[in-house]
Chains A and B, each alone.
Chain A
Amino acid sequence: MLKGSSPLIFERSTEDRFAYSLPDLEVEKHELSDIIDTKFIRRTKAELPEISELDLMRHYTELSNKNHGVDSGFYPLGSCTMKYNPKINEKVARMPGFANSHPEQNDKAIQGSLEIVHDMQEHLKEITGMDEITLQPAAGAQGEWTALMMIKAFHEANGDHNRTKVIVPDSAHGTNPASAVVAGFEAVTVKSNERGLVDIDHLKTLVGDDTAAIMLTNPNTLGLFEEDILEIRDIVHEAGGKLYYDGANLNAIMAKVRPGDMGFDAVHLNLHKTFTGPHGGGGPGSGPIGVKAELAKFLPKPLVVKEGDSYRVEHNVPDSIGRVKPFYGNFGIFLRAYTYIRTMGPDGLKEVSENAVLNANYMMRRLEGTFELPYKQHCKHEFVISGSRQKKMGVRTLDMAKRLLDFGYHPPTIYFPLNVEECMMVEPTETESKETLDGFVDTLIHISKEAEEDPDIVLEAPHTTVIGRLDETQAARKPVLRFQREDIIEEKE
């Protein structure tokens, strides 16, 4: 792999080169200024790069070689479910009948796409135990917001205008409180107890007639199952609030327990996590939501319904919260997820969760002698360990994470959840073999030994990557967010 920096594509640009092949213009060409007022015709061209096709491919190939994906190596990033992205999914998403389907056609011209939408909804209903599903939200965070908007509409339809608060555990993903606020609520934090679970006594002091909902991830971000879930359900429901399920960790419990059966009223799924839509370097995702019947009339529009043997788009949804996303959501992503579900079948999905949980517990037990394990009970699909012992030797979790890079591993999620000191959150997923898990565990134990015997090698890591640790303070203090020939832009304020 090339060490050091790569030129930007703009720095590889040479006047008069190109990498395109447009069809010839066949109609009579008029002066542009006869068609469009010169005031609206661009005087200086946008500085797009000029490069031949081979050099373009080499540029991006060089960049790809500087990137670590699941196909490159183990990626135990907690809460992100970095499992294998099946190649058949990619093939299906590129089928011309799907890839070139336009959403604004008459129903009869989109029966294939609508069939996928409808059958996916049916599958997700069963997997989540919910009554209705919409595939519209673009990602988990948008799913959270959409469902909270529906919960708001529900309370308001009941004349319940004072339910302004959404309860969120201290271990929750950052999107939970952010989505609550964007949906017009106030976020209130409930503490975790010494076992890493929602503190029931604290919860009791928080609920009341101003409670709109509680948002829970179960298993939570510590990888622990909220075993008091039925008590939590009763406390929140008795106060008149709704239960929201953050589906980020659904990979732990498929066919073991369903959000709908646990008493949740709304749920979002991250199809790019549990259901193998690839993460794409940050997106696109897909964040369908499922709801119980009493919330269904508030679903975002439009709806896709089946009538006899054909499918229809229903735009007339009088109580809908409105549209949250153009067209029908990220079809290309839920098509991949649908392909995955059909590949696995019911027993396959059950074994996915069993193996994901088995892998995590195995790693956790192998690591607990070397690292502080803050919560001793069995975990689900992920677990947290603390680097607090190593910190006493002068080596922080960040340093160990950077050292893992030298061995070809993507580090676990670090410093999250916020309630565990020097936290490392490990999620192996079910698609990894025992040999891979052993290799990673052995390496972490080795790094801990280095911390004791030769801390500098850890403190100065990484040693083998294309670039060293980067100066993030400089990046934020004087932001350079684009390439400019005249060099950097000054922040005007």
Chain B
Amino acid sequence: MSHRYLPLTEKDKQEMLDTIGISDVSELFSDIPEKVRFKGELNIKPKKSETSLLRELGNISKKNITTETHVSFLGAGAYDHYIPTVVDHVISRSEFYTAYTPYQPEISQGELQAIFEFQTLISELTAMDVANSSMYDGPTAFAEAATMAAGKTRKKKVVVSKGVHYQAIEVLRTYCKAQGIEVVEVELDGSYTDLARLDEAADEDTAAVMVQYPNFLGSVEDLEEIEKIAHKHKGLFVVNSNPLALSILTPPGEFGADIVTGDTQVFGIPTQFGGPHCGYFAATSKLMRKMPGRLVGQTQDDEGNRGFVLTLQAREQHIRRDKATSNICSNQALNALASSVAMSALGKKGAVEMAENNIQNTYYMKNQLKSKGFEILDGQSFNEFAVKLSKNVDDINDTLYDDGFIGGFNLGRVDEKFENHMLIAVTELRTKDEIDSFVERLGEYNA
């Protein structure tokens, strides 16, 4: 045995070769054309012992500036939230994390039930009839909502607000380009979608009107008005939504949304350099059979015991192949479990309290900035807002690192008209002191 993961001894190998009736393992590779066989050794780094590898990677990890070393006011799609300690203990149970997709329900009831509970939690938060077992992330879920809407309505255009996360719009464009779906972007008016322009852009050829709630600039969009625009011409109403915000905001389902997507990173998933996070996809029951991804359904065994199985698989690629509604196979099951644990730990009251603390902290910080004369791109904010600074945001952030802060997102990277605008996120984890001293620093750099 030459490696701790490889149990075959020389004696084992010899016995196995004898059973196969060959003398050397190379004979098992003799069908590879001689011309292209790889000879010699891969030119990659040599193997390392457990301890020295941990030391090396630990040192690399310390080159990052993180919420462990600095106080963060950065969000923009990945947030610094409270993660209950139980979350990591549950997802570290290897019966969960070393299992495959639950194709054998009799020995996968744990995973199947956990997913069923995830589907229920998402349905509750969004006020939608059904939710699937997860998608890669919020932006790809959002993009799949567009292709699904186009398939359902047989229309080839989607209208999307520029209040949607800029990366979600970019991913949407890539997905739509492939299928010949036109993407029309609608400008903002202040920190909100310009509803007059949205109304102009949506017409009989529109498969979906797509917005974000709260939007990328943190403002709570008027879903009541947008719903009217979306449904006027029989398009679908698609809302991308932060599920934490939905524990306190009126859910999109109550405003008549047809599809709600988003990312559950806010519940129990670390930012981990942007992934893996966890997309969710919820819809009305009318759209159930067009949904992408796996669905877990309740049923019973021959003795009448309640049990869970993967269901409606005729939508999926492994059955339907080129007629499938989506090509998604792997999803984010383990992260969906992490979010389920976090949502369950917070529970009915904790989720509301956590969401409200985001709102209150953000409101406080905006008022502090206003009192110092900062110009805020204002709105009814959940936990983000944009502030105008006098210098380039990247430069200010470089300086803020030295003060122990991770500053907000440079909105100028997304749109020239937001040059020198910083998108600031204030979660429930920020203390009053942290907010006050960050405001003070910004005041100094802005002077």
Contacts and interface: CB of A to CB of B under 8 A. Distances in A.
B117 A178 contact: no
Contact of A100 (B45, B67, B284): B67
A410 B309 contact: no
Interface stretch (A206-214, A257-265, A388-396): A257-265
Interface stretch (B19-27, B154-162, B200-208): B19-27
Contacts of B352: 45
A156 to B, nearest CB: 11
Contact of A18 (B53, B273, B346): B346
A50 B343 CA distance: 10
A18 B347 contact: yes
A71 B100 CA distance: 12
Contacts of A433: 7-8, 12
Interface in B379-416: 380-381, 394, 397-398, 401, 406, 409, 413
B305 interface: yes
A48 B121 contact: yes
B62 interface: yes
A481 B116 CA distance: 7
A458 interface: no
Q: Nearest 5 pairs between A and B by C-beta?
A: A327-B274, A345-B47, A97-B61, A280-B334, A103-B274
A365 B332 contact: no
A27 B62 CA distance: 33
Q: Which of B64, B94, B116, B429 has the most CB of A within 10 A?
A: B64
Given A27-B360, A472-B311, A56 B74 contact: no
Interface in A37-65: 37, 39-43, 45-51, 53, 56-57, 59-65
Given A22-B350, A42-B249, A325-B171, A110 B64 contact: yes
Interface stretch (B106-114, B187-195, B229-237, B369-377): B106-114
Interface string B319-330: 111111011111
B129 to A, nearest CB: 6
A97 B106 contact: no
A161 interface: no
B125 interface: yes
A20 B81 CA distance: 13
Contacts of B440: none
A63 B114 contact: yes
Given A96-B68, A474-B299, A115 B361 contact: no
B37 A256 contact: yes
Interface in A85-128: 85-86, 88, 90-106, 108-113, 115-116, 123, 126-127
Nearest to A380: B28
Nearest to A354: B25
Nearest to B296: A481
Contacts of A280: 96-97, 99, 332-335
Contact of B167 (A36, A51, A70, A326): A326
A178 B110 contact: no
Contacts of A152: 178
A281 interface: yes
A185 B271 CA distance: 35
B343 A346 contact: no
A174 interface: yes
Contacts of B54: 88, 91-92
A323 B170 contact: yes
Contacts of A359: 8, 16
Interface residues of B, number: 210
Contacts of B261: none
Nearest to B343: A48
B250 interface: yes
A27 B36 contact: no
A241 interface: no
A205 interface: no
Given A111-B64, A115-B63, A470 B307 contact: yes
Interface in B72-127: 72, 74, 76-78, 80, 82, 84, 86, 88-90, 92-111, 113-117, 119-121, 123-125
A68 B321 contact: no
Interface string B205-240: 000000000000000100110000000000000000
A468 interface: yes
Given A283-B134, A365-B19, A102 B271 contact: yes
Given A257-B37, A332-B276, A326 B116 contact: no
Contacts of B41: 255, 346-347, 350
Contact of B98 (A112, A278, A469): A278
A325 B394 contact: no
Interface in A147-174: 149, 152, 173-174
B311 A475 contact: yes
Given A22-B357, A77-B100, A109-B401, A472 B117 contact: no
Contact of B57 (A95, A278, A411): A95
Given A104-B409, A106-B398, A475 B171 contact: no
Q: Is the interface of A mostly helix, strand, loop or mixed?
A: loop
A433 B13 CA distance: 10
A208 B261 CA distance: 41
Contact of B249 (A40, A71, A113, A328): A40
Interface string B288-318: 1000001111111111011111011110111
Contacts of B165: 326
B260 interface: no
Given A56-B86, A339-B53, A468 B270 contact: no
B213 to A, nearest CB: 9
Contacts of B340: 9
Q: Which of B94, B167, B296 has the most CB of A within 10 A?
A: B94
A117 B116 CA distance: 34
Interface in A479-493: 479-484, 488-493
B263 to A, nearest CB: 8
A250 interface: no
Nearest to B179: A184
Contact of A19 (B27, B86, B357): B86
B61 A346 contact: no
Contact of B275 (A48, A329, A481): A329
Nearest to A107: B394
A38 to B, nearest CB: 9
B180 interface: yes
B192 to A, nearest CB: 12
Contacts of B174: 149, 300, 321-324
A377 B31 contact: yes
A186 B297 CA distance: 32
Nearest to A473: B299
A326 B177 contact: no
A476 B180 CA distance: 32
A322 B173 contact: yes
Nearest to B46: A345
A64 to B, nearest CB: 4
Contact of B66 (A100, A149, A347): A100
Nearest to A91: B54
Contacts of B114: 60, 63, 281
B96 to A, nearest CB: 6
B53 A469 contact: no
A27 B97 CA distance: 40
A26 B88 contact: no
Interface string B38-55: 100111111110100110
A234 interface: no
B364 interface: yes
Contact of A141 (B89, B92, B178, B317): B317
B364 to A, nearest CB: 4
B165 to A, nearest CB: 8
Contact of A351 (B3, B93, B139, B272): B3
Interface string A1-16: 0001110111001000
B65 A105 contact: yes
